[in-house]
Structures are given as C-alpha cells and as structure tokens.
C-alpha cells in the first residue's frame, strides 16, 4: 500500500474483459432454482446486474414473485419431509457438503471473477477471502453433520410407584429456512447460511441481494452437481421488498436467517412475529478501534487502515470509529491517511488494483452524502473525501478528523471506506465512548498492556473483541451482535442452536 505517486493514484484503468467461462455464464437465461430445476419466474420481470467498475449491465436475472416463493417453499417442504434428504444419514450429508466444498475449490477462479465483476471487489480478494472462505466454511460445517448431540440428564419426577424415567434431549433440524443475504460478501454469506442448515438437515430458500445475485446462481449449479437432492436448496433472485418480504411472511417457512442492515432486520423481526418463526439477525455495526497509548504504532497504522478499507469498508464489522489516545493520535491519523492516499483504486479484474468500486451507484451516493454531511458538520477531511473521475462507483479512501460524537458520520453506519477519528484522554472514559452507539457487533483494542486490555474487554458491549488485530473471522469462532447489531451467533457449536430445535424425550420405564 506504499509509494504509488499521488497523481496517478486515482486514474482509473479500464476493466479487463471477462474470461470465456464467465462470459458464457453471464449469457445464461434468467432462471430460478426451484426443486432442483432451473425454471422461469412467474413474474417474467428481470433485474439488471451491473459491473460496479463500469456502471454497465453485464447480465440480467429473474425477479421472483409471490407465486415463485410459494413454489420454492413447497419444494423445500417436500424435500424436508420426505425423500432422500429426510432419510439421509448424517455421514452422507457430511460427504455432500465436503463434495460441495471441493467443487467450490475446483471452480475457484470462475467464482472469484464472478464475485469481482458483480460486487466490485478485487478478484484477488475474492479468491483469498470470499471463495477460499466459502470452501473452508462448507468443509468445516461438513464436520458438524456427524457431531450433533443431545444429552441425558437426571430428573426427580414423582411417578406412580415403581416407575422410573429415562430422559434425554435430541436435536432436530428446525425445518424450512429462508436465508436472506447482503451484497458485501455474497458467496461467503450464502455459505454462512447454507453450511449449518445443510449440516443439520434443514432445507433452504436462499435470496441473494439484488445487486449481487451471480455467485449464488453459480453455487446452485454446484449444489446440483454435488448431488444434493432436489428441493434441499432453492435459490430465488429477487427484490427484498417483494421476494424477501414474501419469504419472511410465508407460513411454510420455519426460520429466517438474515444478514443485512439494522432497519431491514427490524422489519423482518416484526413480520416474522405473525407466524412466530425462528429468526436470527446479523446486522449493522459501527465498530470502534481503540488505540491505547502504549500500542505499537506501526502495527496500529496497518491494522486500522485494513480495519476500515478492507472490502472498501463494506464490512459489517469494519473498524469505522477510531479512538486513539491523545499521545499517539496525530501519528496514527497521519499514518492511516498516508496509507489511504496510496491505495490504488481500479476495477476488480485488474491485478494492480488494491481497492475496487463500491457495489452500486446508490451506495456510492450514500457514502459521498455522509462525507458531505461530515464536512458540513465541521469535520476535517484528512484524506480522500471524493470520487475519482470514472463511470465506476468509486469513493476514495477517506479519513475524517475533528469529529464529534453527535455527528451523523459518527453515529450511523456508512458502509464505505470512511474512517472517523477521535482522540481520547482518559482510559477510564474509553469504554463509554466506544459503547456510545446503538450497535454492538465488534471492536478492536490495540495495546500490549495486558492489564489494561483485560480490564477493557469485559466493558466493551460487542459480540467480538479483537486485540491487536481486526476483521479476522473463523468458522469455529462465534460471530454475531450485541444490542442493535442483531441476535444469534453464527459459526462454531453456537450456530447449531440457530438451526435445530431441542426436543426433550421423557420415557416411563
Ligand atoms: P438490506 O436492504 O438490509 O439488504 C440485505 C438483504 O435483505 C438483501 O437481500 C435485501 O434485498 C433484503 N431485503 C431488503 N428489504 C427486505 C424486506 N423488507 N424483507 C426481506 N428482505 C429484505 O441492505 P442493503 O439495501 O443492501 O444496504 C443498505 C445498508 O445496509 C448498507 O448501506 C449498510 O449500511 C447496511 N448493510 C449491512 C450489512 C451487514 O452485513 N451488516 C450488509 C449489507 C448492507 P435487496 O437486495 O433487494 O435489497
Ligand atoms: Mg436493499
């Protein structure tokens, strides 16, 4: 991230042509994946898919309507209740998931390229983060299929004389699951949803985000190729307000798993109340990056820059609010700003690109609107702050200083490459400052002072606290939010709670 001259930094190269495999995929007719078949939408409407690096349409996908939702739910219900999936041994579910992860690996290059031209991220990042993460996630969840447990426990039931009781619990799949995912890590978010559902024996209807439907459709082809029975996974491309809302309201759906914005999460939770569906919500964040006075400044600068600029800041746990102690504030902000100004923007398929465009024109305008609002409220733009000249949806990596905690840029989730930097003086105040947000997804603390760190960790109201690192996730490390960042934990053993019902069996013997 160093040493590129500032003048050429924001001259945006052209997007290279896609590979033959991707070009062929893009020409594929708009279809939905229902009951193991590729079918036309009953709506006949289309959603345009745009390459964020060029602003041009590259494909179109079907827009599923309520009738399509009905069909998908019926297919998922049928697959859940009868046929090969319902009777399948856990070891065979494990083998299918493992096979799917092998197919993801085999098709890594194509999937990464599709993700790059759909979302804007670099193909390099799509390869090492999104697609590799998807492969590993399916592989990890494959293991859980054969490790699902209940327990036996003592009871003190007063039964008829001489009668004893044998009591135990067993975990059973929750049923038909609607999975609604966002556009920032489209394939990986699909894997986080499908992996545990398939390991536990549920059936699924996946709705990718309207901006980024391509890898979910390619994944559906791989799911069929792996040999999952028809109806186990259904993929409906469509709009949130129609397809998504119909899935959430549908009485045939047992659970909704959602990742996305907090306002939509609240809507989903309300709508799901009517049918008392199980709901898990992984929502927005405004995660603090807390730099204590003793921290190693070089690693803070690299780590904090990555915390906010990774995936162009379109990360739910991005480190968006920097709190640096007054002794180190200037050095940290200067270092991050220098790093920001050296990041090479460009299209995702250009190997020289370090940061791609944002996902959509709407998101670009939203992020630029936040920067403008920060300026108007008195923030200083230390780096970036505008868009380079390009038809693509770029925003320069931006650092705002002189911010106050009542400013919109400090309070609201921006979901772009914009850091707001604040200085603090007293260690006793930092937890309150960090927690002064409706969100509670993640935080990072940068320090080698073990006592200070250990005292601070329990005071931070967030689902993940990183120390001397940020944005690292692992399939075995629970992930989810406190407060308005949602509820439920994905990954690890904890995710089994989201996809199973616990049944108590009480047997008189
Ligand atoms: P969003 O509206 O929350 O979208 C997430 C998913 O929910 C998409 O598949 C969306 O479909 C669907 N959806 C939207 N409205 C729905 C409804 N009423 N019922 C059921 N499903 C619905 O997020 P967005 O519009 O893509 O982005 C807006 C903001 O959300 C971002 O700027 C960012 O602040 C935040 N965000 C957070 C995360 C995260 O991981 N925490 C991820 C993405 C975005 P459509 O694609 O058709 O909208
Ligand atoms: Mg939306």
The CATH class for the domain spanning 288-475 reads alpha beta
- Which is nearest to 257 in space by CA: 498, 500, 441? 498
Q: Is 358 in the pocket of ligand 1 (CB under 6 A)?
A: no
Given ligand 1 and candidates 182, 265, 365, 416, which is best to mutate, with the most ligand atoms within 8 Å of its CB? 182
Domain-wise residue ranges, the chain: 19-283+487-505, 288-475
* pLDDT score recorded for residue 8: 54
Give 210 Cα–ligand 2 centroid separation in angstroms. 7
The per-residue pLDDT for 5 is 43
Q: Which ligand is nearest to the CA of 237?
A: 1
Is 240 touching ligand 1 by the criterion CB < 6 Å?
Answer: yes
The residue whose CB lies within 8 Å of the most ligand 1 atoms, and thus the one to mutate among 240, 462, 484, is 240
Name the token pair of 299. Answer: 């690693």
CA–CA distance from 244 to each of 63, 88, 153, 239, 372 (Å)? Answer: 11, 29, 41, 6, 32
Which of the residues are catalytic? 282, 316
Q: Do domains 19-283+487-505 and 288-475 have the same CATH topology?
A: no
What pLDDT does residue 109 have? 98
CA of 290 to the centre of ligand 2 (A): 31
Q: Does the pLDDT value for residue 6 go beyond 90?
A: no
Question: Residue 9: what pLDDT?
Answer: 60
**416 and 38 Cβ atoms separated by less than 8 Å:** no
Question: CB neighbours (10 Å) of residue 200?
Answer: 24
Contact 470, 289 (CB under 8 A): yes
Q: Taking a C-beta distance cutoff of 8 angstroms, is the pair 443, 107 a contact?
A: no
Atom 27 of ligand 1: nearest residue by CA position:
261
Predicted pLDDT of residue 487: 97
pLDDT at residue 453 in the model: 98
Question: Which ligand is nearest to the Cα of residue 359, counting in written order?
Answer: 1
How many CA atoms within 13 Å lie on the side-chain side of 481?
Answer: 27
pLDDT single digits (tens) 437-481: 999 999 999 999 999 999 999 999 999 999 999 999 999 999 999
209 lines ligand 1 (CB under 6 A): yes
Cα within 13 Å of Cα(171), Cβ side: 22
How big, in percent rounded to 5, are the helix, strand and coil portions of the chain?
A: 40, 20, 40
The pLDDT value given to residue 226: 98
Residues with CB under 5 A from ligand 2 (ion): 240
Question: How confident is the model over 146-194, as pLDDT tens digits?
Answer: 999 999 999 999 999 999 999 999 999 999 999 999 999 999 999 999 9
Q: Ligand nearest 318 Cα, by number?
A: 1
Tokens of 165: 């009781």
b or e along 446-462 (b: 16 or more beta carbons within 10 Å of the residue's beta carbon)?
Answer: bbeeeebbeebeeebbb
Which pLDDT score, from 0 to 100, does residue 11 have?
83
Q: 204 has which bridge partners?
A: 177, 233
Residue 3 has pLDDT above 80, yes or no: no
Q: How far is the CA of 373 from the centre of ligand 2 (A)?
A: 22
| Ligand 1 centre distance from Cα of residue 283 (Å) | 9
- Model confidence over 80-111: pLDDT tens digits? 999 999 999 999 999 999 999 999 999 999 99
Determine the distance separating the centroid of ligand 2 and the alpha carbon of 240, expressed in angstroms: 6
CB-count burial class (<10 Å; 0-12, 13-18, 19+) for 331: middle
Identify the residue whose C-alpha is closest to ligand 1 atom 28: 261
Q: How far is the CA of 264 from the centre of ligand 1 (A)?
A: 6
Tell me which long-range contacts 295-300 makes (C-beta under 8 A, separation of at least 24). Answer: 295/328, 295/446, 295/447, 295/448, 295/468, 296/446, 296/448, 296/468, 297/328, 297/331, 297/332, 297/335, 298/335, 299/446, 299/468, 300/324, 300/328, 300/332, 300/335, 300/446
Q: Would you give the DSSP letter of residue 276?
A: T
pLDDT digits (tens, 9 = 90+) for 220-279: 999 999 999 999 999 999 999 999 999 999 999 999 999 999 999 999 999 999 999 999
Distance CA 329, CA 322 (A): 9
Q: Is the minimum distance from the CB of 316 to ligand 1 under 6 angstroms?
A: yes
Residues 6+ apart with CB under 8 A from 449: 292, 294
Q: Are 119 and 271 in contact (CB under 8 A)?
A: no
Atom of ligand 1 nearest to the CA of 413: 34
pTM of the model: 0.96
**Per-residue 3-state assignment (H helix, E strand, C coil) for 41-99:** CCCCCEEEEEECCCCEEEEEEECCCHHHHHHHHHHHHHHHHCCHHHHCCHHHHHHHHHH
Name the pLDDT band for 316 (thresholds 50, 70, 90): very high
The residues near 278 (Cβ < 8 Å, ≥ 6 apart) are 174, 254, 255, 256, 498
195-to-107, 148, 223, 428 alpha-carbon distances in Å: 18, 14, 12, 42
For the domain spanning 19-283+487-505, the CATH number is: 3.40.605.10
Atom of ligand 1 at shortest distance to CA of 271? 19
Q: Name the pLDDT band for 354 (thresholds 50, 70, 90).
A: very high
% of the chain surpassing 90 pLDDT: 98
Alpha helix positions (H), 174-319: 186-200, 214-226, 245-249, 262-273, 297-309
pLDDT digits (tens, 9 = 90+) for 498-509: 999 999 999 999
Mean pLDDT for all residues in the chain = 97
Predicted local confidence at residue 436, as pLDDT: 98
**Ligand 1 within 6 A of 182 CB?**
yes
pLDDT at 333: 98
With CA atoms as reference, report the closest residue to 223 among 38, 445, 72, 439: 38
* Ligand lying nearest the CA atom of residue 184: 1
Ligand 1 closest atom vs CA 210: 46
- Reported as a single tens digit per residue, the pLDDT across 388-406 is 999 999 999 999 999 999 9
């Amino acid at each position: 991230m160093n040493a590129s001259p500032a003048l050429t930094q924001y001259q945006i190269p052209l997007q290279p042509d896609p590979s033959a495999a991707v070009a062929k995929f893009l020409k594929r007719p708009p279809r939905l994946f229902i009951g193991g078949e590729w079918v036309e939408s009953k709506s006949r409407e289309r959603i345009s898919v745009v390459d964020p690096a060029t602003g041009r349409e590259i494909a179109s996908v079907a827009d599923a309507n309520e009738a399509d939702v009905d069909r998908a739910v019926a297919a998922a219900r049928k697959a859940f209740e009868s046929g090969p999936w319902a009777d399948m041994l856990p070891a065979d579910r494990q083998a299918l998931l493992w096979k799917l992860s092998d197919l993801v690996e085999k098709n890594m290059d194509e999937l990464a390229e599709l993700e790059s031209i759909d979302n804007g991220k670099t193909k390099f990042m799509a390869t090492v983060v999104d697609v590799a993460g998807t492969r590993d996630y399916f592989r990890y969840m494959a293991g859980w299929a054969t490790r699902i447990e209940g327990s036996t426990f003592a009871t003190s039931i007063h039964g008829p004389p001489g009668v004893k009781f044998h009591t135990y619990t067993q975990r059973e799949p929750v049923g038909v699951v609607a999975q609604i995912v966002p556009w920032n890590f489209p394939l990986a978010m699909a894997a986080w949803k499908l992996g545990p559902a398939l390991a536990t024996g549920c059936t699924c209807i996946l709705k990718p985000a309207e901006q980024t439907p391509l890898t979910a459709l390619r994944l559906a082809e791989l799911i069929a190729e792996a040999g999952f029975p028809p109806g186990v996974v259904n993929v409906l491309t469509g709009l949130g307000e129609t397809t998504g809302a119909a899935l959430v309201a549908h009485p045939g759906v047992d659970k909704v798993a959602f990742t996305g914005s907090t306002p939509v999460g609240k809507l989903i939770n309300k709508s799901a109340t009517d049918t008392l569906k199980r709901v898990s919500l992984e929502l927005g964040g405004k995660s603090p990056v807390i730099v204590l006075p003793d921290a190693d400044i070089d690693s803070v600068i690299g780590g904090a820059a990555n915390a906010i600029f990774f995936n162009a800041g379109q990360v739910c746990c991005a480190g968006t609010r920097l709190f640096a102690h007054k002794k180190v504030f200037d050095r940290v902000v200067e270092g991050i700003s220098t790093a920001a100004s050296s990041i090479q923007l460009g299209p995702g398929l250009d190997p020289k690109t370090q940061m791609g465009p944002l996902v959509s024109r709407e998101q670009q305008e939203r992020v630029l609107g936040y920067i403008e609002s920060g300026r108007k409220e008195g923030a200083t733009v230390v780096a970036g702050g505008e868009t380079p000249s390009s038809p693509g949806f770029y925003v320069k990596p931006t650092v705002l200083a002189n911010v106050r905690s009542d400013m919109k840029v400090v309070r609201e989730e921006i979901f772009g490459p914009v850091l707001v930097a604040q200085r603090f003086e007293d260690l006793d105040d930092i937890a309150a400052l960090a927690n002064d947000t409706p969100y509670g997804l993640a935080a990072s603390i940068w320090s080698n002072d073990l006592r200070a760190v250990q005292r601070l960790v329990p005071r931070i109201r967030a689902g993940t606290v990183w120390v001397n690192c940020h944005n690292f996730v692992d399939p075995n490390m629970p992930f989810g939010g406190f407060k308005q960042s949602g509820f439920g934990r994905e990954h690890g053993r904890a995710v089994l709670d989201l996809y199973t019902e616990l049944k108590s069996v009480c047997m008189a013997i």
